[in-house]
Amino acid sequence: MRTLQVELGERSYPIYIGAGILDSIGELCAKHGISKKSPHLIVTDDKVGPHYLDSVVSRLKSEGYHVLTHVVPSGESSKSLDVYEQVMTTAIQAKLDRSSAVFALGGGVVGDLAGFVAATYMRGITFVQIPTTILAHDSSVGGKVAVNHPLAKNMIGAFHQPVMVLYDVDTLKSLPAREVSSGLAEMVKHGLILDKDFAYWCCENGHKLLALDAETLIHGLERGCAIKADVVSKDEREGGLRAILNLGHTIGHAIEAVGGYGRFLHGEAIAIGMAGSAMLAERLGRDESLYGETIRMLKAVNLPVQLPQDVSIDQIMDAMQHDKKFTEGQMVFIVPEAIGSVSIVKDVPVEAVRSVVEQLKGEG
Ligand SMILES: NC(=O)c1ccc[n+]([C@@H]2O[C@H](COP(=O)([O-])OP(=O)(O)OC[C@H]3O[C@@H](n4cnc5c(N)ncnc54)[C@H](O)[C@@H]3O)[C@@H](O)[C@H]2O)c1
Ligand SMILES: [Zn+2]
């Protein structure tokens, strides 16, 4: 088992990564001072639950913990105020108290939802993350928790750090292949923004990552989490630097929105967005090899790098306007400077972005 510490002063916490480490959940909870007197709530979804919920519950019970469960439907639609209220109802009925903990057993959806419950139940109780997707190596670090409003994603949320993250790579074996690639998009992103060697490592080891080779995954997740943790510990509340984590996300969020949050997975959308950012970088005079190298890395983990023909460029541009990053014909963009380095450019001409989106459809 590897341990990676996220340094956030008194809110610092460890990420435990390894194969089979869920077997030790009881001891780890005891180590972190989780009460054996108070009830705890495990939140999961209906695709993850059937695989892992029983074993997590029985491990905790055998260690003397009192646990209840709440299973939500799988998918982004569970990040809603309705579902939030239902989980809150379970928490209140179960008489969770100030010493109780909420456990998120699942991907980013369950993590964000359960985290927001933990952040707000009695003004904040203990939160434990048990990520079960590759994407969640990103979402489980940094403490951003939220539900969606029908008008905008992640609009209702908080910063609430977990007391520990328990990342058992064995749980990734049941992930559908598309979800594996989607999660690897964030791993590649972490290399592209801050660590050239890691970006190339992901590319060279793409086939092993896709095959869920345990050693390779553990290394990739550990390095990915470490890069994110490093950024977050320097800028916990997104005053500036943390924005670099949004590489590919301005175009990516627009692609997700235009696809109705179902057609494209998050990682697929940001992969196309990262390809677009690399094109934009070249247009802004950065190194000409950037685009070719970036798409090579994305393709190595089976990610798309082009927009399908039926996607409307006008709709993508409109959706980006909702991202509120436009002012007077210019927008803020995370622009690659080289593989492993990016900058925040505040005056990117909207026209340049439009022509990149056209090029992503093969029309540029
Ligand atoms: N808080 C943050 O900093 C942050 C960062 C990035 C993304 N996010 C959020 O994360 C969410 C996306 O996360 P995600 O991609 O993990 O989505 P997800 O939680 O919806 O999981 C993807 C799919 O895989 C299923 N699944 C999860 N684990 C599984 C397993 N081990 N075996 C089989 N099936 C499994 C889920 O039921 C779901 O259908 C988005 O809502 C996004 O906004 C948050
Ligand atoms: Zn993302």
Nearest alpha carbon, ligand 1 atom 11: 108
323 pLDDT band, cuts 50/70/90, is low
Answer whether 222 contacts ligand 1 (Cβ < 6 A): no
What's the rounded mean pLDDT across residues 159-185?
97
Q: Which CATH class is domain 2-174?
A: alpha beta
Ligand 1 atom at minimal distance to the Cα of residue 171? 31
- Each residue of 193-221: pLDDT tens digit? 999 999 999 999 999 999 999 999 999 99
Superfamily covering domain 193-360: Dehydroquinate synthase-like - alpha domain (1.20.1090.10)
Asked if residue 364 has pLDDT above 70, the reply is no
Q: Report d(CA 135, CA 181) in Å as an integer.
A: 9
327 pLDDT band, cuts 50/70/90, is low
Asked if residue 284 has pLDDT above 90, the reply is yes
- Each residue of 89-145: pLDDT tens digit? 999 999 999 999 999 999 999 999 999 999 999 999 999 999 999 999 999 999 999
Phi-psi map region of 64: left, alpha, beta (phi>0 left; psi -120 to 50 alpha): left
Answer whether 129 contacts ligand 1 (Cβ < 6 A): no
Asked if residue 61 has pLDDT above 60, the reply is yes
Which two tokens mark 279? Answer: 């094109």
Percent of the chain's residues with pLDDT above 90: 89
Task: Output the pLDDT for position 225.
Answer: 96
Q: Report d(CA 326, CA 249) in Å as an integer.
A: 14
Ligand 1 probe mutation, 6, 22, 48, 130, most atoms within 8 A of CB: 48
Comma-separated ranges of CATH 1.20.1090.10 domains in the chain:
193-360
What's the rounded mean pLDDT across residues 275-282?
97
- Each residue of 256-273: pLDDT tens digit? 999 988 899 999 999 999
Annotated active-site residue 322? The verdict is no
Annotated active-site residue 236? The verdict is no
Answer whether 136 contacts ligand 1 (Cβ < 6 A): yes
Task: Output the pLDDT for position 326.
Answer: 63
279 pLDDT band, cuts 50/70/90, is very high
Question: In sequence order, what are the residues at sequence separation of 6 or more whose Cβ sits closer than 8 angstroms to the Cβ of residue 33?
Answer: none
Name the amino acid, one letter, at 210: L
Output the CA torsion sign for 131, 14, 243, 335: negative
- Asked if residue 61 lies in contact with residue 67, where contact means CB atoms within 8 angstroms, the answer is yes
Render 183-226 in DSSP notation, one character per residue: HHHHHHHHHHHH-HHHHHHHHHTHHHHHTT-HHHHHHHHHHHHH
Asked if residue 174 has pLDDT above 80, the reply is yes
Q: By mean pLDDT, which of 38-52, 158-172, 240-254 is the weakest? A: 240-254
What's the rounded mean pLDDT across residues 304-325?
88
Per-position b or e across 281-312, b if 16+ CB within 10 A of its CB: bbbbebeeebbebbbebbebbbbbbebeeebe
21 pLDDT band, cuts 50/70/90, is very high
What's the rounded mean pLDDT across residues 331-357?
94
Strands 126-131 and 39-45: unpaired
Annotated active-site residue 144? The verdict is yes
Annotated active-site residue 266? The verdict is yes
Total residues found in the chain within this entry: 364
Which position among 70, 79, 189, 228 bears the catalytic label? 228
- Asked if residue 199 lies in contact with residue 339, where contact means CB atoms within 8 angstroms, the answer is yes
Comma-separated ranges of CATH 3.40.50.1970 domains in the chain:
2-174
Q: Ligand 1 centroid to 88 CA: how many Å?
A: 21
